[in-house]
Amino acid sequence: MHICVLGAGVIGVTTAYRLLQDGHQVTLIDGREHPGDGTSLGNGAQLSYSYVAPLADPSVWSKWAYYMFSSESPLTFKPTLDPAQYRWLFEFLRHCNADRVRRTTIELLQLAFFSRDQLKQWNAQLDLQFDYKASGKLVMYTDQAGLDSARKQVQFQSEFGCEQEVLDAARCIAIEPALGKSGRDWAGGVYTPSEEAGDCPQFCRGLVASMQANANFRFIGNASVANVRTSAGALRAVQAGSEWIEADSFVLSFGPESPAFARRVGLSLPLYPLKGYSITVPLQDAASRDAAPQVSITDISRKIVYARLGERLRVAGRVELVGLERSIPQRAIDELKQGVHELFPGCALGEDASLSPWAGFRPATPSGVPVVGPSPVKNLYLNIGQGALGWTLACGSATLLADQIAGRKSAIDATPFRFAG
């Protein structure tokens, strides 16, 4: 069967790879020149398999005023004229209840562990180079109440295979000595020794390079989808640049651009782009390399993540509901630089241009659960909505979709991830 995958971020690239493994002819299309050049390019780099709690949480109700009006809030809401923004926000708030969060966490943990196993298998076969490291992760808290709440979450997640510890500040610093130089008064943290990190766009490009040795694979870059052809309620072809691509089936994985494509075929998707920012700090001298963490770090109060990628430190944060507004305001970069100064003061920060400032859009569903499976449009499958967990969930989502297309029983239940309309 010829399957056309729309979108060459980490979700589309992994989907193409898994379908190619099944013996399909695969065409992968993206509007950018290189795989992984969109939302995957500057993401937080953490593979957070055990830390999947959704953004939709009951605490949103008590913190709403802080999120909306505080200058220190890591979340920004800018009203637009787009009705989709308000529909998404209404559904998001509807999911901010304890029962829904518990169910979502279980579903995401299952998919995350499945994804972890898939990535290990693929990398063992392909030996891709993407600064991959199983370095563990520390989620750090400055307040005792937050740490006590985290302890309850750790106890809950332990029922589903998570191996995590709640530690005091001294033990956290013993695990990651770089934290000992920080200017923060830590209450403690949650340590997950099995967590990983890796450079997502490097992975995407390496995976595409491996597929290009297969005569059944074709990558078409710099080719925005200009038009579609449908008949009898089915998607038949897409126009990529000047070329029409016909296929037996299509997979939509355009990330934040997925809703715009879906509207062309009469489909409304429950997605909204959550904007975030990152910088990548080159660790060019021995002092900076020694001062940077080896373990992945999340500063929970600032909502900033730190991941070591060889001789670079990826620093990412913020959640903004501002539509597809693509600018990178100086304040966002300054917040991330300030985070580095506070936590790892020995890391030298050069000019802003040397930090590769980046903004991207995580395509999120209101609940945080991605949509993986057939759509109401014949011949069109969906692999969308992984939000900030796209890198973490990619390999599992790809395999889950491939299993559905093949009619195979998957290792996990696909029901929670099906399109609900």
Q: Cβ contacts of residue 322 below 8 Å, gap of 6+?
A: 76, 77, 78, 80, 275
Of 187, 391, 388, which is closest to residue 301 (Cα–Cα)? 187
Q: What is the pLDDT of residue 71?
A: 67
CATH code for residues 2-40+202-268+368-417: 3.50.50.60
Q: What is the pLDDT of residue 68?
A: 65
- In this predicted structure, the answer to whether residue 62 has a pLDDT above a threshold of 90 is no
Q: How confident is the model at residue 69 (pLDDT cuts 50, 70, 90)?
A: low
Q: What is the pLDDT of residue 57?
A: 82
What percent of the chain lies above the pLDDT cut of 90? Answer: 90
The pLDDT tens digits for 316-358 are: 999 999 999 999 999 999 999 999 999 999 999 999 999 999 9
- In this predicted structure, the answer to whether residue 80 has a pLDDT above a threshold of 90 is no
- In this predicted structure, the answer to whether residue 118 has a pLDDT above a threshold of 90 is yes
Q: What is the pLDDT of residue 123?
A: 94
The pLDDT tens digits for 160-195 are: 999 999 999 999 999 999 999 998 999 999 999 999
Parse the chain into domains and list their residue ranges: 2-40+202-268+368-417, 46-106+129-197+272-364
| Superfamily the domain 46-106+129-197+272-364 falls into | D-Amino Acid Oxidase, subunit A, domain 2 (3.30.9.10)
Question: What is the DSSP track for 167-225?
Answer: EEHHHHHHH-GGGGG-SS---EEEEETT-EE--HHHHHHHHHHHHTTSTTEEEE-S--E
Q: What is the pLDDT of residue 282?
A: 98
The pLDDT tens digits for 216-270 are: 999 999 999 999 999 999 999 999 989 999 999 999 999 999 999 999 999 999 9
- In this predicted structure, the answer to whether residue 102 has a pLDDT above a threshold of 90 is yes
Domains 2-40+202-268+368-417 and 46-106+129-197+272-364 share a fold: no
Q: What is the mean pLDDT of the chain?
A: 95
Q: Residue range 70-96: average pLDDT?
A: 86
Q: How confident is the model at residue 81 (pLDDT cuts 50, 70, 90)?
A: confident
Q: What is the pLDDT of residue 176?
A: 98
The pLDDT tens digits for 271-330 are: 999 999 999 999 999 999 999 999 999 999 899 999 999 999 999 999 999 999 999 999
What percent of the chain lies above the pLDDT cut of 70? Answer: 98
Q: In angstroms, how far is CA 166 from the centroid of its own chain?
A: 25
- In this predicted structure, the answer to whether residue 413 has a pLDDT above a threshold of 70 is yes
Alpha-carbon distances, residue 137 vs 30, 147, 148, 301 (angstroms): 33, 15, 18, 16
Q: What is the pLDDT of residue 74?
A: 75
